[in-house]
Structure 1
Amino acid sequence: MQANSNRSLWLTLITACLMCLSVLAPVQAADDVRRIEHALGVTEIQGTPQRIVTLYQGANDTAVALGVMPVGVVDSWVQKPMYHYLRDDLADVPHVGLETQPNLEEIAKLNPDLIIANKARHQEVYSQLSQIAPTVAEATVFDFKGTVKLMGEALNKQAEADQLLNDWDQRVATLQNELKASMGDNWPVSVAVTNIRNDHLRVYLEESFAGTVLHDLGFEFPNLSSQRTWGVKLNSKETIPSMNADVMFIIFQSQDGSVHENFEAWSSHPLWQNLDAAKNERIYDVDLVAWLMSGGIIGANNMMDQLYTHFDIQG
């Protein structure tokens, strides 16, 4: 009788425990749901996503930086299908179209559990993307630090994201100190980031990818706009004096003959020859991908590598 009594007691206890676990399980699952605030709203994400699709260049870059292998990526703008600096890491990842026109059907076939989008590119298709999988969006394509923060939170990799940003801040502080020591009383230096197109020029300012990096470092910019903006388009050579700066970085949009002919037409103009950067021979040709098209923290570090070279600082 005693044995049967003990057995009944244990069965009762086990049943009670199982009932408790069944009650607690939904609570634990609910606790595992994270609410991510982003540029297009609030998205609930269950657990740690394993199958992510990245829909803009900075997100492709940041996935690699965070050690995450996407199941789908968008095509690069140049060096297709993927920028050389990311090609080894993303060589076998399926492509889902252009950043400006992602293929929703192909995305759905990949069965993602998270989509990384961008308000500037995907606002009109956000609801459709959200029907495929939970979708978060960064506000702009140039804010590489914002992309790191958003993806770190969404991917449950906050520690890794924080480390990337801390490493960036330390590298910025180091180069800034070296620039100050090198330039002395001439610091801060003004810079004009000039993108050569086949029919006009663009000068990028603080609210651009290159501008964000240079602003972090303490560089100044030409006074081309009354408000913070990505930059301005220059169509007339009479506007050349407005882009005056101590240093000019030239980004050729392509190697097409028409682009280089346009540069020759502008750079041979007397007003160009009177620019401080031209008179001081401080005009540098820089990499299109690193300075304009990468959009991510790896690209930003590649850009900083070039700054060490152009300012003749040993990194």
Structure 2
Amino acid sequence: MKKTSYIIFGGTILLAGCGDDEGTSTVSTDAESMSAYEVEHHLGVAEFEETPENVVTLFQGANDTAVALGYEPVGIVESWLEQPVYEYLRDDLSESTIVGDEIQPNLEEIAALEPDVIIATQSRHEEVYEQLSDIAPTVVLEELNDFKATLEIMGETLGEEDQAKQLLDHWDERIEDFQLQMESTQDEWPMTRSVINFRSDSLRLFVEGFPGSVLSDAGFEMPDNQQQAYETDETFIELTNTESIPELESDMFFVYMQSNQEADELDEAWQLWTDHPLWGELEAVDQDQVEMVDEVIWSMGAGFIAANEMLDDLYEIFELEDGE
């Protein structure tokens, strides 16, 4: 497994250098000095005789996070879009073997890679946890889209706790800078937000999940109806008719299209919703606060790099100066 050194500059994670399997990594010295240890996770405890080198990641946020920590896993799951690997990660995962998708990872292919550790998630892999654990120590995260928790536990697992802390500290600095600039430049702050996914047969109003967690960190608030849905553990609110358009109400819209559906059907859906008189009465529409965003970065990536690219987008959308 290649280990690659990354540094943060101007809010971006940059390639600094690389080494082969037998070489030393400049990412951190933590992993070089660790002996036997245990990692507690959602489904148990993973035991390691030494720091893992060959890593298999079984969800998109783990693929992303491995790269953020300077690793190229020996095995990864296929991306949902832009197959086989999301474009923003493609160069860094060019030598990783595809081992199925998140829902159905190929256990035989995983075993053939002889991994030292498998990174999984409860919602996708609880039923195959025992089989995965028979292949290699398996660390299972409770939340699929919690990019901070993924970074922390992967940092602990891979002996890169210092690197993970550095990345999270830098994230906090960027968030503080963004909020200070928003407070000084916006007429009203904080503002409410809606993350809207246009589909051929409905709209999905995402309450929390990955994009919601980033926006909450950045200081945006949920409208009351979304807050109520969040408190009952709903991931999204699905709207199936135009009479429900007022449920979208908020100060700011971040919109992306469901790109794996037919383009002409999506165009028809867009016209159906946005030509309706109720659409024009929405505050965000009236104030020209509707932004089209990238589906992969804002919804699918769900890792630390994607979160930073979301924050990059927010700096650009609001014409702020990056605080670096």
Answer whether TM exceeds 0.5 for this pair. Answer: yes
The superposition leaves residues 261-313 of structure 1 with CA deviations (integer Å, 9 ceiling, x where unpaired) of 11211111111111001111111110011100001000001111111111121
CA distance in 2, matches of 1:218, 1:72: 36
Aligned twin of 2:12: none
CA distance in 1, matches of 2:235, 2:180: 26
Aligned twin of 1:263: 270
Q: How does 1:141-180 map to 2 (within 5 A)?
A: 141-180=144-183
CA distance in 2, matches of 1:223, 1:122: 34
Alpha-carbon shift at residue 37 of structure 1 (Å)? 1.3
Mean CA deviation greater in 218-227 or 56-65: 218-227
Alpha-carbon shift at residue 55 of structure 1 (Å)? 0.4
8 Å Cα contact 1:224/1:232 also seen in 2:
no
CA distance in 2, matches of 1:224, 1:138: 29
Alpha-carbon shift at residue 105 of structure 1 (Å)? 0.6
Q: How does 1:22-171 map to 2 (within 5 A)?
A: 32-171=35-174
8 Å Cα contact 2:74/2:95 also seen in 1:
no
Q: Which of 254, 258, 268 in structure 2 is aligned with 1:253? A: 258
CA distance in 1, matches of 2:184, 2:42: 40
Q: Are positions 1:183 and 2:190 aligned together?
A: no
Q: Are positions 1:291 and 2:298 aligned together?
A: yes
CA distance in 2, matches of 1:63, 1:213: 19
Alpha-carbon shift at residue 231 of structure 1 (Å)? 2.0
8 Å Cα contact 2:190/2:220 also seen in 1:
yes
SS in 2 for 1:168: helix
For structure 2, which runs of at least 5 residues remain unmatched after alignment?
1-33
Q: Aligned letter for 1:154?
A: T
Q: Aligned letter for 1:304?
A: L
SS in 2 for 1:89: helix
Alpha-carbon shift at residue 229 of structure 1 (Å)? 3.6
8 Å Cα contact 1:247/1:282 also seen in 2:
yes
The superposition leaves residues 126-153 of structure 1 with CA deviations (integer Å, 9 ceiling, x where unpaired) of 1111111000011122100010011001
Aligned twin of 2:248: 243
Instruction: Indicate the RMSD between aligned Cα atoms, in angstroms.
Output: 1.3
For structure 1, which runs of at least 5 residues remain unmatched after alignment?
1-30
SS in 2 for 1:102: coil
TM-score by length of 2: 0.85
Alpha-carbon shift at residue 159 of structure 1 (Å)? 0.5
Aligned twin of 2:207: 205
The alignment of Structure 1 onto Structure 2 pairs a total of residues equal to 283
Alpha-carbon shift at residue 223 of structure 1 (Å)? 2.3
TM-score by length of 1: 0.87
8 Å Cα contact 1:224/1:243 also seen in 2:
no
**For the pair shown, which has the larger CA radius of gyration, 1 or 2?**
1
Alpha-carbon shift at residue 198 of structure 1 (Å)? 1.2
Alpha-carbon shift at residue 120 of structure 1 (Å)? 1.2
Hey, which of these two has a bigger chunk of helix by percent?
1
The superposition leaves residues 44-87 of structure 1 with CA deviations (integer Å, 9 ceiling, x where unpaired) of 12210011100000000000000012100111111111111111
CA distance in 1, matches of 2:49, 2:204: 43
